[in-house]
Amino acid sequence: MSEVDERYELGSVEISRDEIKRRVVDLAADIEREYRGQEVTLTGVLKGAAIFLSDLAREIGTTVDVRMDFMAVSSYGNSATSSGVVKIIKDMDTFVDGKNIIVVEDIMDTGLTLAYLREILRTRNPKSLKTCVLLEKPERKKVDSEIEYRGFTIADVFVVGYGLDYAGKWRHLPDIWSLSKTRQ
């Protein structure tokens, strides 16, 4: 049976909504300190980072001119593991040249997606290019990709909720949950 055919169910809460909220407030404060008096474009990687980006943007104070944009990429499909192949499905609408760009990602698994996006965006001559990642799985990392703003480091478990999904399910949950295989 392939991983796409396997059935999963919710396991346990790995990171609570309260822990997420506190960390998002801290990340926003870090961004605000660094970009006070400047414009920054938070560029969310769809669909997983949409909730995180929205909460992060709302927590950044009025001293930073926050713009938002999105990119859509695919590297998972309906699998619980990354395929390693990154495809841009939707590019940014913002002209990047001379702008402060922060790529906002839900999870860094292998690092391939972030490394690819940073390489693409670097060629567009941003004033600055940084990365804000909600979750990092160091055990799965295949390539080094810079993370200037890190939410949580987690073990190599598949997680859903707070924007993260498995085959389109569980993205809406306010906490981050582990998945476990359904007993058959």
* Residues classed as catalytic: 109
Tokens 């996006």 locate to 117
Query: Distances in Å between the alpha carbon of 178 and those of 9, 50, 101, 134?
Result: 9, 20, 31, 15
The most distant pair of C-alpha atoms in the chain lies apart, rounded to whole Å, by: 57
Q: What is the DSSP string of 41-99?
A: EEEEEETTTHHHHHHHHHHS-TTSEEEEEEEEEES-TTSSS--S--EEEE--SS--TT-
Sequence-distant (6+) residues with CB within 8 A of 1 are none
